[in-house]
Amino acid sequence: MQMQQTKWSRLRGSAATALIVVSAANLLNYFDRSIFNLVLEPIRREFHLTNTQVGFLAGGFALLFAIGSLPMAWAADRWRRLNVVGLSVVVWSLATAASGLAVSFAWLFVARVGVGVGEAGCLPAGTSLIGDHYPPAKRAGAMAVYQGSGLLGSMLGLMIVGVLAERLGWRMALITASLAGLLLAPFALLLREPARGRFDTKQAGEQPWLSALGVLLRSPVYLLLVVAITWVSLGFTSIGAWGPSFFVRSFHLSLSTVGLLFGLSFGLSAAAGTFIGGYATSRLAARNRRWEFWVPAGAYALAVPLYELALHAPTPTIAFSFVALASFAAFLGYGPTMSLYHVVAPPAVRATAVAIGACTAGLIGAFGGPVAIGMLTDALTPSLGPNALRGALSVLMLGFLIPAVLYALAGRMAFGGMKAGRPDDLEPAAVKPAPLA
């Protein structure tokens, strides 16, 4: 009996168990996001929506996801983070079920905003937990597992719900998909939390919250990171939200076919890129910390021509092939991006640092991107006709060049004073505030 209790106690407090649970939550987070994007076309037809209205639905979750990230991060920096994760899962699952009961555009929009309320707590609490479970040398790899789980969730959502939507209709598909989150939530409540800032030197975890926040907001590298992540969010959310509709409209494919092929080409390739990028970055950063910035910079620069080739491909087979290559390339930089918050942020405000980035990325990127695609598609329809969505996506994909430049610049600034960014230099320029005016 004593031995069983000891094993259970170790299991509750282990880093691997925590990573599995928060990664499962993140998987369901992206699962619920992606399934709605897949059924946008039948929703558009049923409610006779314009492309702009569809854009508002696609980005609607991001409104309160962005706004709610800050208070949820404040809670995660003070309260039990696993409780924040569990509550978040329950809220977004119930909101997904409510989407399936909608009778109007307004109901759908409010339900999608409700999904954002729940999802707001998952990212800051989850990444903060991982940062305190894993030392810096292993953190990028752990973050890649966490981020990659979300991409697997997107893939599974597209593949499973594509079949469910064709057989049961889009409403029952959403309601059925919401059940998984309600089953997962209790597991988060059973785990033990690690001490905050346990791998940091100089007792940084004891720094007062307001003082640490001031240091963060005066960091030029952190501000560059926030702007870069916002542009990345705009690109990823736009292709994720409108990609299924693009294939349905451009190649007249069924929902199940698009769900399977887009799920594999986008979701699986993105997950593979995230895992490989996180592992490779951990190895490279052991020799030179600047690789934590260089990998995302190179990844996003490479993704631009590949996405453009996908959008202008003559056949669906060629298009899906380039989507796979582009997504693999782009997501090589996704895992390292999350670990960068732990490079630039003091421990006392790491969840808040993630939330500020999530807020701007949500409002400008995750909400603004799909809405901008919808508006641009409506504007281009008179001249381009059925190719209007292709033209709108093509314009926005060029935006990946901006974060490529910003990451390269941030890497130079963060470790500018080091000799080749040695890993034993524990206090990079990133965490040093800019002088007050």
CATH for 21: 1.20.1250.20
pTM of the model: 0.74
Nearest CA-CA partner of 366 in 234, 264, 169, 243: 234
Q: With respect to residue 95, please indicate whether it lies within any of the assigned structural domains.
A: yes
Q: Is 416 helix (H, G, I), strand (E, B) or coil?
A: coil
Nearest to 57 by CA among 67, 47, 72, 66: 47
CB atoms near residue 180 (< 10 Å):
18
Does residue 282 fall inside a structural domain?
A: yes
Q: How many other CB atoms sit within 10 Å of the CB of residue 307?
A: 24
Q: Residue for token digits 């299991």?
A: 11
Please report whether residue 436 resides in a domain. Answer: no
Q: From the centroid of its chain, how far is CA 165?
A: 25
Contact 56, 372 (CB under 8 A): no
Of the candidates 97, 58, 355, the one whose C-alpha atom is nearest the C-alpha of residue 209 is 355
Number of structural domains found in the chain: 1
| Residue 75, both tokens | 């809670």
CA 1 – CA 83 distance, rounded (Å): 28
| Alpha helices for 134-266 (secondary structure H) | 136-168, 170-177, 179-189, 209-217, 220-251, 255-262
**What is the pLDDT, as a whole number, of residue 108?**
93
**Is 199 part of a structural domain of the chain?**
no
* Domain assignment of residue 412, yes or no: yes
Cβ atoms 325, 312 nearer than 8 A: no
Q: Which helix (H) or strand (E) holds 424?
A: none
419, with CB counted inside 10 A (0-12, 13-18, 19+), is exposed
CA distance 58 to 36: 8
Q: Does residue 9 form part of some domain?
A: no
The first and second tokens of residue 213, run together, are 């926040």
CA angle 317, 376, 261 (to 5 degrees): 20
Phi, psi angles (nearest 5°) of residue 433: -70, 155
| Predicted pLDDT of residue 8 | 56
Residue 413: exposure state from Cβ atoms within 10 A (0-12, 13-18, ≥19)? middle
319 in a domain, yes or no? yes
- Residue 411: exposed, middle, or buried by beta-carbon count in 10 A (0-12, 13-18, 19+)? buried
Question: How many Cα atoms are found within 13 Å in the side-chain-facing hemisphere of 394?
Answer: 13
Q: Per the domain annotation, does 200 fall within a domain?
A: no
111-142 pLDDT, tens per residue? 988 888 888 888 788 888 888 888 877 777 78
- Low-confidence residues of the chain: pLDDT under 70: 1-11, 13, 197, 200-212, 215, 335, 348, 415-437
State whether residue 132 is helix, strand or coil. Answer: helix
Give the residue carrying structure tokens 């500020």.
356
Q: What's residue 97's pLDDT?
A: 93
| Domain span including residue 307 | 14-189+209-431
Q: For residue 126, give the nearest of 165, 97, 86 by alpha carbon.
A: 86
